[in-house]
Amino acid sequence: MKILDGKKISNDIKDEISKEVNEILKSSGKQPHLAAILVGNNGASQTYVNAKVKACERVGFKSTLIRLDENISQNILLNEIEKVNNNEDIDGLIVQLPLPKNFDESLVTNSILSSKDVDGFHPLNVGNMVLNLPTFISATPAGIIELISRYNIETSGKNCVVVGRSNIVGSPMSILMSRNTNPGNATVTLAHSRTTNLKELCLKADILIVALGKANFITADMVKDGACVIDVGISRVKSEITKSGWKLIGDVNFSEVSQKCSFITPVPGGVGPMTIAMLLKNTLLASKSKI
């Protein structure tokens, strides 16, 4: 069994981006700039945004963090987005999800200019992704594709099962794996909470990609011998061992599944760091398109 080391690969990607930023700075004076909007005080969201800001520093990007109170009206948020849309210096904008309950998430994400939508959530970018046209591909699925590619995992003709059909992970993942590209060309099954024969389907998967958000949900008896297992899930559970009192757990029961698969992503250190690396890559792309 081989670990798909997202931490290492994401560091390689950050080094590559950093090098390119230096070259762009020298030749054009342009420094890529990512803005992030965080509404409210959700602990996990704050951690994710901070990690994104830190990653920007690491590769030489400018970053702007806009923090808004949980009780603001949706119009105030839309105004902030408009300001960033009109700010020539800012190349990419992300609004950290989930938003507090009274916000319409799709209205908010659709308000981001598609050319600055480095999360790849705007309908125009999703449509381009489906049609295999140049676009910003949603960072988590793009990170998984990059990981598969850098470990030379064969996907063509393989059975791929994706568990979870969210707009940001499962659904785009299933499309990317079924496209006529490399990685891609897999025969894909997209499973969700209404799927009745999940175990049977998972047992047929050469590549099993799991994104449902339920700790340790996938057990060894659901995994084919020699499968490649990609665990997207992140659940925060109490721990008596860690300093913080919390630890992160994936959707896959790592200790038992790792005994029988060929490749597996750890949690943390697998898909998570790749997601941030691909967000940076999309921001670099947005910045370069303006030069």
Q: Does 170 bind ligand NDP (CB under 6 A)?
A: yes
DSSP tag of 100: P
Residue 116 CB coordination number (10 Å)? 23
Q: Does 163 bind ligand NDP (CB under 6 A)?
A: yes
Decide: 202 and 223 in contact? Cβ < 8 Å. Answer: yes
Selected from 32, 92, 172, 233, the binder of ligand NDP by CB under 6 A is: 233
Which phi and psi (to 5°) does residue 14 adopt? -60, -40
Q: Does 271 bind ligand NDP (CB under 6 A)?
A: yes
Q: Does 232 bind ligand NDP (CB under 6 A)?
A: yes
119 carries an active-site annotation? yes
Decide: 31 and 62 in contact? Cβ < 8 Å. Answer: yes
Q: Does 101 bind ligand NDP (CB under 6 A)?
A: no
Within 201-230, the residues that bind ligand NDP by CB under 6 A are 211-213
Q: Does 165 bind ligand NDP (CB under 6 A)?
A: yes
Within 50-89, the residues that bind ligand NDP by CB under 6 A are none
Q: Does 195 bind ligand NDP (CB under 6 A)?
A: yes
96 carries an active-site annotation? yes
Exposure on the CB side of residue 246, measured as CA atoms within 13 A: 9
Tell me the torsion sign for CA atoms 46, 49, 55, 57.
negative
- The site that binds ligand NDP (CB under 6 A) totals a number of residues, namely 24
CA distances to 109, 143, 184, 200, 209 from 159, rounded to whole Å, are 33, 20, 11, 13, 11
Which one, 233 or 266, has the nearer CB to ligand NDP? Answer: 233
Pick from 148, 189, 100: which is nearest to 278 by CA? 148
206 carries an active-site annotation? no
Q: Does 40 bind ligand NDP (CB under 6 A)?
A: no
SS3 content of the chain, % helix, strand, coil (to 5): 40, 15, 40
- Residue 175 to residue 143: CA distance in whole angstroms: 14
Selected from 194, 244, 245, 291, the binder of ligand NDP by CB under 6 A is: 194
**Among the residue ranges 147-155, 178-186, 191-199, 219-227, the one whose residues contact ligand NDP (CB under 6 A):** 191-199
Annotated catalytic residue within 91, 117, 119, 231? 119
| List of residues contacting ligand NDP (CB under 6 A) | 140, 163-166, 168-170, 191-195, 198, 211-213, 232-235, 271-272, 275
The catalytic residue positions are 52, 96, 119
